[in-house]
């Protein structure tokens, strides 16, 4: 089968879609476009720096471009460098898999106060995204709002010792920042009861292996199966120097300025309460950055978080991408007059997959002994092809 | 030799390894690659040797594509006497409490139905930085050599 498909977003959903399309129809022209100069989206910038095993899916994605005939167009922002209208006119099908890069706000009085830091903003800085801002000081008692895996990722990085980060790709800047923090205790706040927390059980088990953690659960967790039982075990078996309190059934109602930080008003089964926080880290989901708008959006296929909101990890991305690819192949009406990638080839500043391979090799070659990679953090560096002389 | 390769996967890594293994073994053997989700337990009777590649997911659970196969094993209780299989796990030692549990559960389930495990079950660690094919190919070749002599 022939035909031209453009995929906007080279993160896991976009790559799984390209993979499924090319596996089923090797004759397709599949182009994967990303606003960043490097591919793989949240695999590079969202999966935690110490979860390198999870990042191994990028080896599958490499093959889209090295063996399956897919082309990567990096540093090309749809809506700015090329309009979505032009893209839709040039391809037989366009897939929007652009993810969700903004933080969902708390939606409470005071949710715009300084000292409130969204997890997207924080993890972009931690994982050296080229558009990241500086890492903020967290003070002695940060409070994390959220009971999903992003909250656990942030917690785990704050609790780990430098030795426990060995083998990760946490950069020198973020590693220095972590070692400068003087966190004395951490509170995790969630509305749901412990039984309904969306933590991955494996990630709770992982917390129990950390040397500094001393976990406690409010209201006290019952034993038994599932996440609540694992949390009860976590509380029983950890006794390190850093108190980490999980507060379930605790619903934030307002944020106020307080002495030396913020005050978080909450309601609990025992009534209203106010928690003090030196910083408030929100990990309650992501929202669109509104970069892709206009009537053309509705004419495109959508997948991943861009389509469904910020739930589901790699397996769900893959499952949905495979279903979408099957649907595209059923509906595709190829028109040979459409220019396809000829539209993109002359756009100034775009980079290709060979460019990424050079960056990838460079980043691995210059890694410190206790790190597996040293990311180029600045967009200008990601756009300059590293040469072996730089190593 | 007629070798059937099956994979149980969540993120596709075991599927890629199955394709790689098939390509590598294809010159000397007849190979096929199938997703466990599309496999009936009786299908293991066809080849001289079955090679199963299986990850773990969640809290040491079987990956989604192996679960329907495991459910059919449970429901149909087939007698797999005479079936020979080797099994290779894909795991992540960051989650060491449950490292390689998926392939272990599947191996136990097949052995309970009378199938014979050939060679040792080994588990690749995705966090190790080593490539799974660098571990799986020599492992498979050893097993094939041993099963010629056996």
* pLDDT tens-digit map of A23-52: 999 999 999 999 999 999 999 999 999 999
Please provide residue B52's backbone torsions phi and psi, each rounded to the nearest 5 degrees: -110, 130
Band (B94; pLDDT cuts 50, 70, 90): confident
Is the predicted pLDDT of residue B59 greater than 70, yes or no?
yes
- Please state the rounded mean pLDDT for residues A47-65: 97
Beta bridge partner(s), residue B5: B33, B51
- State the average pLDDT for chain A: 95
> Among A228-232, A292-296, B39-43, where is mean pLDDT lowest?
A292-296
Per-residue tokens: A307: 């389509």
- Asked if B98 contacts B66 with a C-beta cutoff of 8 angstroms, the reply is no
Report angle CA A262, A268, A271 to the nearest 5 degrees. 95
- Tell me if chain B has a CB within 8 Å of the CB of A164: no
- Please state the rounded mean pLDDT for residues B121-150: 90
* pLDDT tens digits for range A296-349: 898 899 999 999 888 889 999 999 999 999 999 999 999 999 999 999 998 999
Cα A147 to Cα A189, A213, A355, B10, B21: the distances in Å are 7, 17, 38, 23, 40
Shortest Cα distance, chain A CAs vs residue B10, angstroms: 5
- Please state the rounded mean pLDDT for residues B136-146: 95
CA distance A5 to A327: 13
CA distance A208 to A210: 6
Is the predicted pLDDT of residue A385 greater than 80, yes or no?
no
Q: Total structural domains in chain B?
A: 1
Phi-psi region of B15 (alpha: psi -120 to 50; beta: other; left: phi over 0): alpha
Shortest Cα distance, chain A CAs vs residue B49, angstroms: 26
Is the predicted pLDDT of residue B96 greater than 80, yes or no?
no
Q: Which residues of B touch A16 (CB under 8 A)?
A: 12
3-state secondary structure at position A194: helix
Tell me whether residues B13 and A202 touch, CB distance under 8 A.
no
- Tell me if chain A has a CB within 8 Å of the CB of B68: no
Shortest Cα distance, chain B CAs vs residue A271, angstroms: 35
CB-nearest to A205 from B11, B97, B129 is B97
- The predicted pLDDT at position A296 comes to 87
ipTM higher than threshold 0.90: yes
- The predicted pLDDT at position A137 comes to 95
Could you write out the DSSP letters of every residue in A6-60? EEE--SHHHHHHHHHHHHH-TTSEEEEE-SSSSS-HHHHHTS-TT-TTGGGGHHH
Is the predicted pLDDT of residue A220 greater than 90, yes or no?
no
Is the predicted pLDDT of residue A293 greater than 90, yes or no?
no
CB-nearest to A206 from B60, B95, B126 is B95
Is the predicted pLDDT of residue A391 greater than 50, yes or no?
no
Per-residue tokens: A219: 């209201």
Tell me whether residues B10 and A57 touch, CB distance under 8 A.
no
What CATH number is associated with residue B50? 3.40.50.360
Is the predicted pLDDT of residue A223 greater than 90, yes or no?
no
- The predicted pLDDT at position A35 comes to 97
- Tell me if chain A has a CB within 8 Å of the CB of B13: yes
The DSSP bridge pattern shows strands A261-268 and B49-55 to be unpaired
CA distance A178 to A17: 36
* pLDDT tens digits for range A148-157: 999 999 999 9
Domain span at residue B62 reads 2-149
Nearest residue in chain A measured CA to CA from B96 = A206
3-state secondary structure at position A375: coil
CB-nearest to B12 from A52, A53, A60 is A60
Shortest Cα distance, chain A CAs vs residue B12, angstroms: 8
- State the average pLDDT for chain B: 94
The answer to whether the bond into B81 is cis (omega within 30° of 0) is no
Q: Which residues of B touch A205 (CB under 8 A)?
A: 59, 95, 97-98
Rg (CA), chain B: 14
Q: Which residues of B touch A59 (CB under 8 A)?
A: 13, 16, 131
Question: In this structure, is the dihedral angle defined by the CA atoms of residues A57, A58, A62 and A65, taken in order, positive or negative?
Answer: positive
CB-nearest to B94 from A16, A51, A315 is A51
Beta bridge partner(s), residue A189: A145, A247
Band (B149; pLDDT cuts 50, 70, 90): low
Superfamily of structural domain A103-286:
FAD/NAD(P)-binding domain (3.50.50.60)
- Please state the rounded mean pLDDT for residues A209-218: 96
Mention every residue, 6+ apart, whose C-beta is less than 8 A from residue A169. Answer: A49, A52, A367, A371, A372, A373, A374, A375
CA distance A93 to A366: 40
Instruction: Name the strands in the sheet holding A271-277, side by side, starting at the edge strand that comes first in the sequence.
Output: A251-258, A261-268, A271-277
Beta bridge partner(s), residue A377: none
Phi-psi region of A271 (alpha: psi -120 to 50; beta: other; left: phi over 0): left
Shortest Cα distance, chain B CAs vs residue A58, angstroms: 10
- Tell me if chain B has a CB within 8 Å of the CB of A237: no
Is the predicted pLDDT of residue A389 greater than 70, yes or no?
no
- Please state the rounded mean pLDDT for residues B118-146: 94
Beta bridge partner(s), residue A118: A282
Is the predicted pLDDT of residue A387 greater than 70, yes or no?
no
- The predicted pLDDT at position A183 comes to 98
Tell me whether residues B60 and A60 touch, CB distance under 8 A.
no
Per-residue tokens: B97: 């409490």
What is the Cβ-side half-sphere exposure of residue B97, based on CA atoms within 13 angstroms? 13
Q: What percent helix, strand, coil does chain B show, rounded to 5?
A: 45, 25, 30
- Asked if B147 contacts B112 with a C-beta cutoff of 8 angstroms, the reply is no
Cα A155 to Cα A214, B29, B59, B93: the distances in Å are 12, 50, 20, 20
Cα A169 to Cα A32, A162, B98: the distances in Å are 25, 12, 24
CA distance A6 to A27: 14
Segments making up each domain of chain A, as ranges? 4-101+288-390, 103-286
Distance from chain centroid for Cα B34: 11
At the second CATH level, the architecture of A4-101+288-390 is 3-Layer(aba) Sandwich (3.40)
Q: Which residues of B touch A54 (CB under 8 A)?
A: 92, 126
């Amino acid at each position: 089968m022939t035909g031209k498909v453009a995929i906007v977003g080279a993160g896991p959903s976009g790559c799984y879609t390209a993979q499924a399309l090319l596996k089923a129809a090797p004759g397709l022209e599949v182009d994967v476009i990303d606003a960043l100069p490097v591919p793989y989206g949240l695999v590079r910038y969202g999966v935690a720096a110490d979860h390198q095993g999870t990042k191994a899916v990028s080896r599958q994605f490499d093959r889209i471009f090295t063996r399956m005939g897919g082309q990567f167009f990096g540093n090309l922002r749809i809506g700015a460098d090329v309009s979505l209208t032009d893209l839709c006119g040039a391809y037989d099908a366009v897939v929007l898999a652009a993810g969700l890069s903004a933080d969902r706000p708390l939606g409470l009085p005071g949710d715009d106060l300084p000292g409130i830091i969204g997890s997207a903003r924080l993890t972009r800085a931690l994982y050296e995204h080229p558009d990241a801002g500086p890492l903020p000081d967290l003070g002695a008692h940060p409070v994390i709002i959220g009971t999903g895996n992003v909250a656990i990722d942030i917690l785990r990085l704050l609790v780990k010792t430098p030795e426990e980060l060995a083998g990760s790709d946490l950069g020198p800047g973020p590693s220095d920042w972590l070692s400068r923090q003087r966190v004395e205790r951490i509170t995790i706040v969630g509305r749901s009861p412990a039984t309904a927390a969306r933590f991955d059980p494996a990630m709770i088990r992982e917390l129990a292996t950390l040397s500094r953690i001393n976990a406690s659960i409010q209201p006290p967790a019952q034993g038994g199966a599932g996440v609540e039982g694992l949390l009860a075990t976590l509380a029983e078996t950890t006794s390190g120097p850093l108190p980490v309190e999980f507060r379930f059934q605790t619903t934030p109602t307002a944020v106020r300025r307080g002495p030396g930080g913020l005050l978080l008003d909450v309601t609990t089964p025992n009534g209203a309460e106010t928690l003090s926080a030196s910083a408030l880290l929100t990990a309650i989901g992501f929202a669109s950055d509104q970069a892709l708008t206009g009537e053309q959006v509705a004419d495109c296929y959508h997948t991943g978080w861009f389509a469904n909101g910020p739930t589901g990890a790699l397996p769900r991305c893959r499952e949905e991408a495979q279903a979408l690819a099957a649907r595209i192949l059923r509906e595709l009406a190829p028109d040979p007059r459409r220019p396809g990638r000829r539209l993109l080839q002359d756009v100034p500043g775009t980079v290709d997959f060979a460019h990424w391979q050079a960056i990838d090799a460079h980043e691995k070659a210059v890694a410190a002994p206790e790190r597996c990679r040293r990311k180029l953090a600045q967009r200008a560096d990601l756009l300059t092809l590293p040469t072996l002389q730089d190593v | 030799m007629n070798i059937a390769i099956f994979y149980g996967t969540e993120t596709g890594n075991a599927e890629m390894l199955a394709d790689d293994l098939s390509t590598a073994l294809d010159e000397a053997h007849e190979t096929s690659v199938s997703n466990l989700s599309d496999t009936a337990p009786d299908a293991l009777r066809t080849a001289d040797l079955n090679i199963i590649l299986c990850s773990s997911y969640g809290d040491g659970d079987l990956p989604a594509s192996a679960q329907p196969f495991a459910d059919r094993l449970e429901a149909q209780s087939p007698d797999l006497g005479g079936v020979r299989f080797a099994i290779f796990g894909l795991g992540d030692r960051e989650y060491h409490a449950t490292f390689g549990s998926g392939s272990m559960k599947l191996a136990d389930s097949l052995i309970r139905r009378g199938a014979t495990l050939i060679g040792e079950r080994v588990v690749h660690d995705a966090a190790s930085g080593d490539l799974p094919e660098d571990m799986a190919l020599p492992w498979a070749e050893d097993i094939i050599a041993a099963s010629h002599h056996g």
